[in-house]
Amino acid sequence: MTSDNVIETHALAKRYGDVDAVHALSFQIRGPSITGFLGRNGAGKSSTIRMLLGMIKPTAGSGMVLGHRIDDPKQSLLIRRRTAYIGEEKGLYAYMTVEQLVRFTSSFYPDWRPDIEQRLLRMYQLPLRRKVKALSKGMRTKLALLLALSRRPALLILDEPTEGLDPVSIEELLQMLTGIAAEGTTVFFSSHQLAEVERIADSILIIERGRLVLDVSLDHLRENYRRVTAGFPARPPEAEFRLPGVERVRASGRQITVLASRNADAIVERARSLSAVSVEVEPVSLREIFLDAVRTDAPAEAR
Amino acid sequence: MPVLFQGLRYPPVAPPKLHRWWLCGTNRARQGRCVGCRLDKPKSTTVSYQWYSSVIFKLNPSSGQPLYLQLMQQVRHAVATGVLQDGDLMPGIRTLAEELVVSHNTVAKAYTELEHEGLLELRHGSGAYISAKRGVKSRADRVRAAQQRVRELVNSLQAEGLSNEEIFRLFEAEVLFPHDLPPRL
Amino acid sequence: MLWYKTWRENELRFLISALVLSGICTAAVLFERMFRAQLHATSAPLSSYAGYIYLRIYGGFARGTFLVLALVLGLGGLQRERAHGSTGFTLMLPVSRGRLTGVRAAVGLAEILALSLLPVILVPGLSPFVGESYPLSQSLQFSLLWVSFGSVVFAAAFLSSVIFTSEYSALAVSLAVFFIYPLVARLPPLRPYPLHIHYIMNGTGMAYFDPRTDLLVGPLPWTVLAGAVAITAALVAYAAVLTERQDF
């Protein structure tokens, strides 16, 4: 295990009864970068995050965060000292006021930065004397961010950070994430908002039913993923398109659509050699890739 | 729109020491002090910043081209059209990343590549400057400069008593057969 | 600051408990004449003021209330936070689960101590207002009994609050155990052993209590008290171990 990786897991697994929440998950994340962690509801994103943070214990496999083992309570403490986490519910102590919560949280971190705290308090215009339970979800998210960022964590993990926020707050949040990543914090966030992920992330991980189905940099994806649509005078032979890099072939009538993760040129070449009357090559959006990645296993679910 | 980017800098930025045209939206750097460069007033500055950067750089996450390449192309284009000129200070990596809401790695990669191309000069600690002195200067500018030199030469040759016909033939021969012996007149 | 959080979490419960207990003690002392007249009408006449105080406070009603309050104070913790969605935040703090549990237990036990000291202040302090007096030493000794067994009840509720996901089931189970336990302790094979916490606390049938004067006499059962402390410690320690192992 190298120390360059901010997060790395090896065959990480979590079982609840006979349900495989996470299965043989292996990935590495280098910092500082922004990684989007994608998957459908119940795909195992939260379980993975909670294992990384030592809240739940892996059934098998191992993982390291910032060079510390995730399954050792003592090392988990070291991880948590330099990692911030904002959960989906943004659950904070409802009975405390904003000021009390900030004081409370700051007492745990010797590297707390009062200057950042003050700036963020002013920027977010958080009402110091208001109780947390009286804050809107947007305000709560900002408060959670303030608590996370006022100590410059090495790693910031967010679970569905934009969930329930209005568009303005979402934009602010995304901008904040890019800003702190540029300051050296590695950002790892789960989201269903693919358009957001596509904008800010360096790379993405897609998991489906606990298994990693895609681990790719978005630059690579933009450069290499293509959808080739070819029209033929007669019904085209689908099998001819089973080339390396082809993820999916779909024929409808005389048209054939190929989703390729690389090698688009060869596919175009093949279409031409099969005397295609029209060939169109288009970039593929993250949305399509995501849907394709999680749909591949769809029949298994029906079983 | 005005509230959109209000108060977002993280961590809060120190007031700029240098004029930042992309921040204030004016281009008065060469004329001395810029009155627009006041980060203390985020309302006016960030809004014009947003306007400015959206004019220059627009990244399309789903265009099938890596974002850093898009950014590089747009910088090149801005230099070619003269919107960015030699010596202009580019936004810092973090600032631009935040404004475009893309990863800093994207901006960093574009800047590094542009530096390799010689279009950008990364000065340690002070920022990234457009370097368009040679090669990358806009074609129109170079033609304009060449025209000036040719005009001066033609004028002096005329003053020496050469006819327009002779001057024209000299230029033609020089362009078409540069390595031949000088033509006898 | 963990102390602060823990205190804030059960501040209200504690203040209400303190208010209830002080109310009972104060009313018992200040309205002594009225209550005694009532008692006189319904049951055998009380021999003394000490007997009256024993009946109202150290022997019966106030003591029972105190134990129920101790039980309520034992609830809460991470399972309760799960219901409020703040577990993620708490567990991200750079403190071990053991410490989280330890601080909660410590704050709770301190509150039990504070509650058990209320009658010490109120009973001997208010008695002169009704022209009576109650020995401070008696109050202190009873308090010692209260705090020891209040802690046991607290620790049992504390453990159930760690085990059960829902706070209501934790409360229900604790209450059920609380009411069934004395019945079990009174079963003939168990009778010879000092297991009945109510009897130990009010001295029923114990050598250190004189039922004629309703006063504590002779040395307190130190081994039993030490046993109570040990049981408390064991229950809290077990709760800490469980918390450490829990998945959330």
Around A177, how many Cα atoms within 13 Å sit in the side-chain half-sphere?
33
Domains of chain A: 5-220 (3.40.50.300), 226-283 (3.30.70.100)
Say yes or no for a CB contact (<8 Å) between C96 and A108: no
Select from A80, A95, A96 the Cβ nearest to the Cβ of C94: A80
A24 exposed, middle or buried (CB, 10 Å; 0-12, 13-18, 19+)?
A: middle
Cα C171 vs. chain centroid, distance in angstroms?
15
Which of left, alpha, beta for B64 (phi over 0: left; psi -120 to 50: alpha)?
left
Tell me how many residue pairs between chain A and chain C have CB atoms under 8 A apart. 64
Instruction: Give A288→chain C minimum CA distance, Å.
Output: 33
Tokens describing residue C203:
């001295």
Structure tokens of A56? 């739940």
Does the pLDDT value for residue B1 go beyond 50? no
Which residues in chain A have their CB less than 8 angstroms from residue B5's CB? 171-172, 175
Bridge partners of A211, per DSSP, are A208
ipTM, interface predicted TM-score of the complex: 0.86
Minimal C-alpha gap between A238 and chain C (Å): 49
Specify the amino acid at residue B86: D
Q: How does DSSP assign C34-93, residue by residue?
A: HHHHHHHHHSPPPS-HHHHHIIIIISSHHHHHHHHHHHHHT--SHHHHHHHT-HHHHHHS
| A200, A222, A225 ranked by CB distance to B103: nearest | A200
What integer best gives the mean pLDDT of chain A? 89
Which chain A residue has its CA at the smallest distance from C246's CA? A56
pLDDT of B31 strictly over 80? no
CB A153: neighbour CB atoms within 10 A? 23
Asked if the C-beta of A200 comes within 8 angstroms of chain B's C-beta atoms, the answer is yes
The answer to whether A133 faces chain C, any CB pair under 8 Å, is: no
Confidence band, pLDDT 50/70/90 cuts, at residue B33: very low
Query: Which tens digit of pLDDT belongs to each residue from C4-59?
Result: 999 999 999 999 999 999 999 999 999 988 888 887 766 666 678 888 888 889 98
Lowest-confidence range among A63-67, A203-207, B157-161, C112-116?
B157-161
Helix H or strand E encompassing A199: helix A194-200
Whole-number Å distance between alpha carbons of C56 and C70: 18
**Span C150-166, average pLDDT:** 94
Query: H-type helices in B128-183, by residue range?
Result: 139-159, 164-176
Specify whether domain B21-130 bears CATH 1.10.10.10: yes
**What are the boundaries of each domain within chain C?**
2-245
C84: nearest CB among A53, A83, A94: A94
Mean pLDDT of C208-233: 90
Question: Taking a C-beta distance cutoff of 8 angstroms, is the pair A157, A188 a contact?
Answer: yes
How far are the Cα atoms of A15, B93, B158, C40 from residue B168, in angstroms, in the given order?
A: 87, 52, 11, 138
- The first and second tokens of residue B166, run together, are 């002779």
Determine contact, residues A294/A213, Cβ cutoff 8 Å: yes
**What pLDDT, on the 0 to 100 scale, is given for residue B178?**
66
Residue A182 to residue B61, Cβ atoms within 8 A: no
Per-residue pLDDT, averaged over B150-168, amounts to 90
Cβ B5 vs Cβ B52: under 8 Å: no
pLDDT tens digits along C68-126 = 999 999 998 888 898 888 999 999 999 999 999 999 999 999 999 999 999 999 999 99
CA-to-CA distance for A245 and A267, rounded, in angstroms? 9
Per-domain boundaries in chain B = 21-130, 139-176
What chains are in contact with B, requiring at least 3 Cβ pairs below 8 Å? A
Closest CA to C1 of B58, A241, B74, A102: A102
pLDDT tens digits along C133-152: 899 999 999 999 999 999 99
Let me know if B99 is exposed, middle or buried by CB neighbors in 10 A (0-12, 13-18, 19+): buried
pLDDT band for position B134 (cuts 50, 70, 90): low
Pick from B4, B94, B104: CB nearest A168: B4
pLDDT for res B138:
59
| Number of Cβ within a 10 Å radius of residue A97 | 18
Strands (E), chain B: 89-90, 120-123, 127-130
Residue A42 phi/psi, 5-degree rounding, is 75, 10
Partners of residue A171 in chain B, C-beta under 8 Å = 4-5, 101
Q: With CB atoms and an 8 Å threshold, state whether B64 touches A195.
A: no
Of chain B, the percentage scoring pLDDT greater than 90 comes to 16
> Rounded to a whole number, what is the distance in angstroms from the first to the last CA of chain B?
71
Average pLDDT, stretch A143-160?
A: 93
User: Is any Cβ of chain A less than 8 angstroms from the Cβ of C88?
Assistant: yes
Return the SS3 of A164: coil
Q: A24-33, B108-117, C40-49, C189-198 — which is least confidently predicted?
A: C40-49
How far lies A56's CA from each of A83, A210, C245, in Å? 16, 15, 9
Can you give the pLDDT at residue B30? 36
* pLDDT number for residue B46: 36
